[in-house]
Structure 1
Amino acid sequence: MLTKSGPTLADGTKVADLVNLETREVQMRTLSDPELYELEMERIFGKTWLLLGHESEIPAQGDFMVRDMGSDSVLVTRDKAGEIHVLLNVCSHRGMRVSTVDAGNTQIHTCIYHGWAFTTNGSFLGAPVEKECMHGKIRSKAELGLKKARVTLYGGLIFATWNIDGPSFEDFLGDAKWYYDMLFQRSDKGLEVLGPPQRFVVRANWKAAGEQSAADGYHTLTLHRWLGEVGNYSHVKDKDSGANDLTQQMYGVEISSPHGHALRCQDLARKIRRLTGKEPADLTPEERFRVLPPPGMTADMVPQLLRHLGKEQIDVMASMPPQVGGIFPNVLFAFLYLPQPDGSSLGAIALHTYVPRGPDKLEFTNWVFVEKDTPADVREKMRKQSTQLLGTTGMVEQDDSDTWPHMTLAAKGAMGRKMTLKYQAAYETGAPEGWPGPGIVNEGFTKDDTQWHWWQYWLELMTADTDA
């Protein structure tokens, strides 16, 4: 049922009332309600731009992979001209899945049920026994192709949406694109995947993971405290306190977006001092890059940064670069500086998506990336450490994927579903003086603002006026 203020659930609750904008609280039933889940498939996953993979996963003509846009299976294909298409994996004849495998190479996609055949761009070729015209004469062949999504490539990443006439991908990213370009549009040849993504199923609502991807830094201090005790940061001590480096990682700049995108930018000053013995202010951005290249890059790749990014972006990259964040609704990215025992730093690049599989189930997908110019020995180290930390069996993700099911179970309880998620630690600082980048910018110890803006955009989409 729809009202002017959005949907009303079967028990009479308006979706608009699930989020209290004054107290910055969200009812926990949002993490378990089947009605909400069905609305999300239409209003969020049926409308927004969704990450499906990277073009390097399907490099050759005829390559394809099967991915999901919310609850819909799709074929991601590369045609003879090299163009990428995203097609609903539902045969236009009787609704059978056209492809029942995860990936492959073919010039013709044939449904196993009645043999209807489709090209790599989704056009209908025909049915067996052509002279009998088994597709009938009511609809033309041109009308019987696979349903096509709108597609864009960004830094080689494949995004698609069912909202054919909706906002452009650039409009969807908004101000956040200025920062994302530092990660995905920074080099001559771009990123590539190190093999197919890792995937596993978690018994949790997708939003438990999705809202964390909106730059939740605070949980690192407790859930991932081992990073400072026995992990990568355990041997990095503060020269004044002698304590490990982890707490200091919570300070920096956070960027929010009205569209729920988020980034955490962390100060490199202490790392630069440790590596050079000099004050960062006394070094040019190029000099800082030579001793501490961005994650995934080597010192000899630094000139590529200068070619692809503007001066203000270079200044941010060399001092307070984005390292973790998310793209609404279900993407997390990590471009991390991982301290090594010898005092050096290794880059790790990973992207996650949290694909809905029902009100209490998600599929966790993890890609490990390197720059195409990365030397073989460095890419192997990156692959190993990225997988150990951020992979499906990685130590960080074992922590995270343990919390989300508990939240989902709690949200099913008679009392638990009435409790609220709270985002009341709000910034009172604003942007640092002279900060050149756009967006909703704040500095200091990590707060709840980025995640709260994620929920605000969720609410905006869920309560938007639509046709019944």
Structure 2
Amino acid sequence: MLTRTSPVLSDGTKVADLIYPSSREVQMRVLSDREIYELEMEKIFGKIWVLLGHESEIPNSGDFMVRDLGSDSVIVARGKQGEVFVTLNVCPHRGMRISTADCGNTQIHKCIYHGWAFRPNGDFIGSPVERECMHGKMLPKEELGLKKARVQLYGGLVFATWNIDGPSFDEFLGDAKWYYDMLFCRSDKGMEVLGPPQRFIVNANWKTAGEQSAADGFHTLTLHRWLGEVGNYAKKGEGETTADLSPEMYGVEISSPHGHALRCIDLARKIKRLTGLDPAELTVQQKLEALPPAGMTRDMVEQLANNLSDDQLQVLTSMPPQVGGMFPNILFGFVYIPQPDGTVVGSMTLHAYVPQGPDKLEFVNWIFAEKDAPPELRDKMLKQTIQLFGTSGMVEQDDSDTWPHMTLAAKGAMGRKSTLKYQACFETGAPEGWPGPGIVNEGFTKDDTQWHWWLYWHELMTASDEEKES
């Protein structure tokens, strides 16, 4: 457990008092306050594991990309032995950014200001006119390198943290890893990006998107109502189109004490609609062949048994995780997109909502495919995902319109005193025989996953600086 303290804002408000546990409410000022934002950069993004990208973006020795780890620019670089390094993009000499490019390839990162040079792992090489020793003699070269972050690769995803002696990445994921493995670690060769990520700026606080990514399914009924009305997504009932998406709101939801969340959605309806087969009469293997996981072909299904347990395969063929998030700012979607010919194309996408200030975030969207997916499937996945979940996708146009309004409302004299409410609570528990770990509930989607997201935010924000995250 973390030792609790209570940072106090300049107006005398304790951060601990911004959340009301008994009524499951959060003061809206957290969505706009600069002091709170600065604390988040230290207590959240400065302490926990943060997603920076995917290793397939830097496949070769010397490849690098520049990303943000909280409020700090970092260089993510590939070393000669294939290692991935993350270093602070700040020259220790006079504070200039080492790299002013978004990406590239080099074995020497050289500061344009005074020419100090560094290896991809951040080690200091030297300064110009070596005989004059312009880096001085007060500190050894070993102490003049770039600040190094701790790095973890997971399913090819690159995570880093400044908390060098803190918990492991597996400890951070906790029980949620059991489910994430079904998405990111299911195949023999793993995933790769389909080109560089899409990126755009939204004038909103990062938490407006972050808390939604904690498996908020309910907003789909209204904000994305068109999904039940338009084209291949239209729901048909008794000869007429109906926009009722409520059947999609039933399933299993997994919460985490670390704010991670997953929505597991019933696969039986899709199997029955697409194949005409009765899922109740099919084995696990037959279900996988009838409707392979999103992004996989029938030829790839046999790989699943190499990487997943029988219990995981049972969940993958009954209530597979399809949408959800990783705390603090990641949303993932492994969804089935219907086609005009009655088939489906899987979409594998990952969003990060990167803080850029109390009222600005950068929306970063990666699109993935399995490395051995056939070219024609990769092309369809890329096109379909861009149309739906890309920076100009139909779904994202809905979501990114709400977040700025919430941020603006949180700036008002009265609005900032209003509260976000998470009072729709599960009363069910896990389905009978559910094999997976975590805080599991079944039924119509509720607010529990998002509320656990806020509880972990609160835990980190009120933790003593002397204590390490547990």
Deviation at 1:353, TM superposition (A): 0.3
Aligned to 1:29: 29
Query: Following the alignment from structure 1 to structure 2, what is the Cα–Cα distance between the partners of residues 406 and 242?
Result: 31
Query: Does 2:242 align with 1:254?
Result: no
Deviates further, 190-199 or 273-282: 273-282
The number of residue pairs the alignment matches comes to 465
Partner AA of 1:148 in structure 2:
K
Query: Following the alignment from structure 2 to structure 1, what is the Cα–Cα distance between the partners of residues 319 and 55?
Result: 29
Query: Following the alignment from structure 1 to structure 2, what is the Cα–Cα distance between the partners of residues 79 and 176?
Result: 31
Aligned to 2:395: 396
Deviation at 1:392, TM superposition (A): 0.5
Aligned to 2:91: 91
Deviation at 1:345, TM superposition (A): 1.3
Aligned to 1:296: 295
Which runs of structure 2 are paired with 1:156-171 in the superposition (5 Å)? Answer: 156-171=156-171
Deviation at 1:109, TM superposition (A): 0.2
Deviation at 1:467, TM superposition (A): 4.5
Aligned to 1:364: 363
Query: Does 2:445 align with 1:446?
Result: yes
Does the aligned pair in 2 maintain the 1:252–1:266 contact within 8 Å? yes
Query: Following the alignment from structure 1 to structure 2, what is the Cα–Cα distance between the partners of residues 114 and 265?
Result: 54
Deviation at 1:271, TM superposition (A): 1.1
Deviation at 1:240, TM superposition (A): 11
Does the aligned pair in 2 maintain the 1:233–1:245 contact within 8 Å? no
Partner AA of 1:316 in structure 2:
V
Aligned to 2:70: 70
Partner AA of 2:228 in structure 1:
G
- Give the CA RMSD over aligned residues: 1.4
Secondary structure in 2 matching 1:357: strand
Query: Following the alignment from structure 1 to structure 2, what is the Cα–Cα distance between the partners of residues 346 and 279?
Result: 21
- Structure 1 residues 340 and 190, CA gap change in structure 2 (3 angstroms): same
Does the aligned pair in 1 maintain the 2:31–2:407 contact within 8 Å? yes
- Structure 1 residues 244 and 413, CA gap change in structure 2 (3 angstroms): closer
Query: Does 2:154 align with 1:145?
Result: no
Aligned to 1:39: 39
Secondary structure in 1 matching 2:73: strand
Partner AA of 1:32 in structure 2:
S
Query: Does 2:377 align with 1:378?
Result: yes
Deviation at 1:275, TM superposition (A): 2.6
Deviation at 1:238, TM superposition (A): 5.3
Secondary structure in 1 matching 2:134: coil
Partner AA of 1:26 in structure 2:
V
Secondary structure in 2 matching 1:163: coil
- Structure 1 residues 4 and 274, CA gap change in structure 2 (3 angstroms): closer
Query: Following the alignment from structure 2 to structure 1, what is the Cα–Cα distance between the partners of residues 379 and 244?
Result: 26
Secondary structure in 2 matching 1:319: coil
Which runs of structure 2 are paired with 1:184-195 in the superposition (5 Å)? Answer: 184-195=184-195
TM-score normalised by structure 1 residue count:
0.97
Aligned to 1:7: 7
Query: Does 2:45 align with 1:50?
Result: no
Query: Following the alignment from structure 1 to structure 2, what is the Cα–Cα distance between the partners of residues 352 and 231?
Result: 25
Query: Following the alignment from structure 2 to structure 1, what is the Cα–Cα distance between the partners of residues 408 and 359?
Result: 8
Does the aligned pair in 2 maintain the 1:323–1:335 contact within 8 Å? yes
Deviations 1:36-62 (A, max 9, x none): 000000000000100000010000000
Query: Following the alignment from structure 2 to structure 1, what is the Cα–Cα distance between the partners of residues 289 and 53?
Result: 31
Query: Following the alignment from structure 1 to structure 2, what is the Cα–Cα distance between the partners of residues 446 and 241?
Result: 26
Deviation at 1:278, TM superposition (A): 2.7
Secondary structure in 2 matching 1:216: coil
Partner AA of 1:224 in structure 2:
H
Deviation at 1:306, TM superposition (A): 1.2
- Structure 1 residues 240 and 434, CA gap change in structure 2 (3 angstroms): farther
Partner AA of 1:153 in structure 2:
L
Secondary structure in 1 matching 2:233: coil
Deviates further, 409-418 or 333-342: 333-342
Partner AA of 1:445 in structure 2:
F
Query: Following the alignment from structure 1 to structure 2, what is the Cα–Cα distance between the partners of residues 283 and 241?
Result: 31
Partner AA of 1:202 in structure 2:
V
Query: Following the alignment from structure 2 to structure 1, what is the Cα–Cα distance between the partners of residues 143 and 442?
Result: 54
Which runs of structure 2 are paired with 1:327-366 in the superposition (5 Å)? Answer: 327-366=326-365
Does the aligned pair in 2 maintain the 1:20–1:26 contact within 8 Å? yes
Deviation at 1:246, TM superposition (A): 2.6
Aligned to 2:174: 174
Aligned to 1:270: 269
Aligned to 1:314: 313
Query: Following the alignment from structure 2 to structure 1, what is the Cα–Cα distance between the partners of residues 384 and 245?
Result: 18
Deviation at 1:249, TM superposition (A): 1.1
Query: Does 2:404 align with 1:414?
Result: no
Partner AA of 1:310 in structure 2:
S
Deviates further, 253-262 or 276-285: 276-285
Secondary structure in 1 matching 2:74: strand
Does the aligned pair in 2 maintain the 1:238–1:244 contact within 8 Å? no
Deviation at 1:231, TM superposition (A): 4.7
Partner AA of 1:73 in structure 2:
S
Deviations 1:205-251 (A, max 9, x none): 000000000000000110011111115421x4357997457321111
Deviates further, 281-290 or 69-78: 281-290
Query: Following the alignment from structure 1 to structure 2, what is the Cα–Cα distance between the partners of residues 17 and 180?
Result: 33
Deviations 1:384-439 (A, max 9, x none): 01001101011110110000000000000000000000000000111001000000
Partner AA of 1:448 in structure 2:
D
